[in-house]
Structure formats: C-alpha cells, structure tokens
Amino acid sequence: MDYDFLIVGSGISGCTIAEQLASKSQKILIIDKRNHIGGNLYDEYDQNNVLIHKYGPHIFHTNSKIVFDYLSKFTEWIKYEHKVVAFVDNKYVPIPINRNTLNLIFNLNLKTDEEATQYLNKIKEDKIIKNSRDVVISKVGNELYKKLFEGYTKKQWGISPENLLPEITKRIPVRINTDDRYFTDIYQYMPKNGYTAMIKKMLSNENITTLINTDFKDLDKKIHYKNLIYTGPIDYFFDYKYGKLQYRSIIFEFERYNKSHYQDYAVVNYPDEKVKYTRITEFKYLTGQNIDKTTIVKEYPTNIGEEYYPILTEANIDLYKKYKLEADKLPNTTFIGRLAEFKYYNIDQAVASALLLSKKIIKEFD
C-alpha cells in the first residue's frame, strides 16, 4: 500500500495535519499505538454515562480566531468558563490568586484593585530569579508560596520548586480584581459532543486511513509512504540512543457516585503535601451534562507511566537538543507535537502549530 504521508499519532497535532493534507487530495495513513484516536484529548462515556476525559481534564481556551474557526468546522460548542479553587486552611479559595483569595486567606476586606496592589506590594519579596520558587515569592511572597505553591509543585513535578526552571511558574497570573475564571481567553468553550466526536469528524475524509493499536516500529513493511510526520516521543524514535527524556506522569483514579454532585466546584486543588493527589475534577461541570450520577478523577503524579509533562530541567533540554539535531537531518520527516518537540502545548497551540506546518507543506506541492 502506498501513501503520500504516514502520520504517527492521532492526537490533535496529527489529526489537524491529516485533515489539512487530505483536503488537498493527499493519501494519508494515520496510526496510533493506543486503542483509540484522539491522543490525550480522548473522551468516552463511562458506566455512569458520564462523559469522562481519560487523560485528565481538558479545557479548550484560545485567543486565536483562526484556531477557533478551524475547530468549529468539526464541532459545535457549549460555553464554558473554567473555575478552579484550592482547599487551604479549611477554605476553598480562588485560583489563580485574586483579591478574593487574599481576603479569604489573610482575613482581609480589600475592596479595590488599588488596595489589593498595595497589599501584594507589601507581601511580595525582591528576588533575583533563579528558579520557580523565586518567581512565585517575587510575585506573592513567602506565605502564599508555602500555602498554595510549594506542596502542589512538589507533588506535581516530584522536584522542589528551587530545582525547577523559572519558566514553569513564570506565566502564573496574579490578579488584583475578583475575576475568578481560570482562563481569560476570548474563546472558552467545550466541544458539544466531546473531543472524540470532534476528532472522528476531522478524520472522516476518504483520503485518510486510520490504524489504531499500531506502534510506528511495528508497522507492516509492505506499507510505503513518501513522507513521515511523527508526533510520538522523539527519544523513542531514536531508540533512546542518547538517553531517556524525563516526563512527569499521572495516575488517574476515577470514582463514580450515585448522586448528582460530588463537590461544589469543577476542580479543587489540594496544595497540602500530606494529601497524595494534586486535584479532584468533577467532569459534569466541564461538559454540562445533566444526569443524576457523577464521576470524579483524582490525579496522583508519578515518574512512571505515560509521558505527560516534559520536565524542563537544563539536562533534559540539552538532551532534547541532541535528538533535535538528528531529527533535522532526516529527509521527508517532520517532528511535531508535544512529545516530538518535548514541549508543553495547550490544545490551541498544538492546533496552531499543526496548521502552520500543513500550510508550509501544502505550499511546497501546490
């Protein structure tokens, strides 16, 4: 069998490229080693008939009209503005930190943005930024760092914030107003029928053949392709010849209940190090499902298991660069996506990057 492109990985990166190239009459084979399409966006109905996200809660948000318009070709949306609280000192406080968080934690009554700014100026500390801890303390001071960040970050990364690059916490917002939305993007929606339904539609072009339960390295030798788009782990592609890139993984423990709700919030973070999980998500809040049963997921970070979050230490970044040098030498082969680029991508960033690459490829053969 002959294909123009083999795409390894049916996550949102691979599927966007498959869809774009197939619409230009390219014959595409897209494969995935898992037993389903969709990559980490995969969702399914569980035995409670609750739509769950198998690889943890995925909330779509973007400022890009191009990405939103593109995905809107494959799904309708429901409006959803994500909210997260942290359980600390026996209280539920908004995350990211805003004026209400300050009032609740420090028993204050800050009424204006100016008052919140003044208070933050009082508690934040001047720091030379060398690591993730310095970033947080320089924004909100030591007490909030201890209560909200230290334990959570240690659990999440398995490393103390002092040993993590500043990038990890650099983008954490601190608000002086009372906006308690987790994201402030222009477009905040969830796919009406779920991500898997959206992805199925993306792959519905007759020029696309989909093969699941198929690892790239076990692909039938009778299959021929002119070009390769690889979205799997870059170190695996090269048989780990320089060593293994480190990722943080997560064990997802799902619990099902015969009641309409488990908690009052979509996501509750548990910064306390004594609590082994980092957060609890109740899916119905995200998907808007209105049924009398519910399913939650607890997340236990771990070093063993599927690759989820690239651990951005200098050693890992240097190792990635070695693989990238090799990858750049390969003809007709492109590495893209969160695993192939060893990079944390949000959904919209993955789509934007895949659309750009597709455009470049199409220009070459148009």
Q: Which of residues 224-253 bind ligand FAD (CB under 6 A)?
A: 231-233, 236, 250
Task: Select from 6, 8, 52, 176 the one that contacts ligand FAD (CB under 6 A).
Answer: 8
| Cis peptide bond upstream of 94, omega within 30 | no
Give the nearer residue to ligand FAD in terms of CB position, either 13 or 210: 13
- DSSP summary character for residue 244: P
Q: Does 298 bind ligand FAD (CB under 6 A)?
A: no
Q: Does 301 bind ligand FAD (CB under 6 A)?
A: no
Q: Does 339 bind ligand FAD (CB under 6 A)?
A: yes
Give the nearer residue to ligand FAD in terms of CB position, either 98 or 231: 231
CB 12 to ligand FAD: min, Å:
4
| Cis peptide bond upstream of 233, omega within 30 | no
Strand, helix or coil for residue 259: coil
| 268 closest CA partner among 148, 126, 79, 92 | 92
Give the nearer residue to ligand FAD in terms of CB position, either 207 or 349: 349
CB 232 to ligand FAD: min, Å:
3
Q: Does 305 bind ligand FAD (CB under 6 A)?
A: no
Q: State the Cα angle at 300 between 299 and 301, rounded to 5°.
A: 110
Give the nearer residue to ligand FAD in terms of CB position, either 10 or 75: 10
Q: Does 210 bind ligand FAD (CB under 6 A)?
A: no
Identity (one letter) of the amino acid at 288?
A: G
| 93 closest CA partner among 77, 107, 81, 80 | 107
Taking the C-alpha atoms of residue 126 and residue 149, their distance in angstroms, rounded to an integer, is 18
Q: For the residues of 186-210, what is the DSSP string, one character each?
A: SEEEEETT-HHHHHHHHT-STTEEE
Identity (one letter) of the amino acid at 88?
A: V
Structure tokens given for 25: 């009459």
How far the first Cα of the chain sits from its last, in Å, is: 24
**Which of these segments, 9-17, 63-71, 124-132, 162-170, binds ligand FAD (CB under 6 A)?**
9-17
Q: Does 39 bind ligand FAD (CB under 6 A)?
A: yes
**Which strands make up the sheet holding 77-79, listed edge to edge?**
60-62, 187-191, 77-79
Task: Select from 337, 352, 357, 361 the one that contacts ligand FAD (CB under 6 A).
Answer: 337
CB 252 to ligand FAD: min, Å:
8
Task: Select from 6, 26, 30, 58 the one that contacts ligand FAD (CB under 6 A).
Answer: 58
| Side-chain half-sphere exposure of 87, counting CA atoms within 13 A | 17
Q: Does 338 bind ligand FAD (CB under 6 A)?
A: yes
Task: Select from 85, 345, 355, 357 the one that contacts ligand FAD (CB under 6 A).
Answer: 345
| Residue 221 phi, psi dihedral angles, 5° rounding | -70, -15
Give the nearer residue to ligand FAD in terms of CB position, either 95 or 250: 250
Size of the site for ligand FAD (CB under 6 A): 35
Task: Select from 6, 208, 347, 357 the one that contacts ligand FAD (CB under 6 A).
Answer: 347
Q: Which of residues 103-142 bind ligand FAD (CB under 6 A)?
A: none
Q: Does 191 bind ligand FAD (CB under 6 A)?
A: no
Taking the C-alpha atoms of residue 272 and residue 253, their distance in angstroms, rounded to an integer, is 19
Judge whether 26 and 207 are in contact, CB under 8 Å: yes
- Which residues are at the interface with ligand FAD (CB under 6 A)? 8-14, 31-34, 39-41, 55-59, 215-216, 231-233, 236, 250, 308-309, 337-339, 345-347, 350
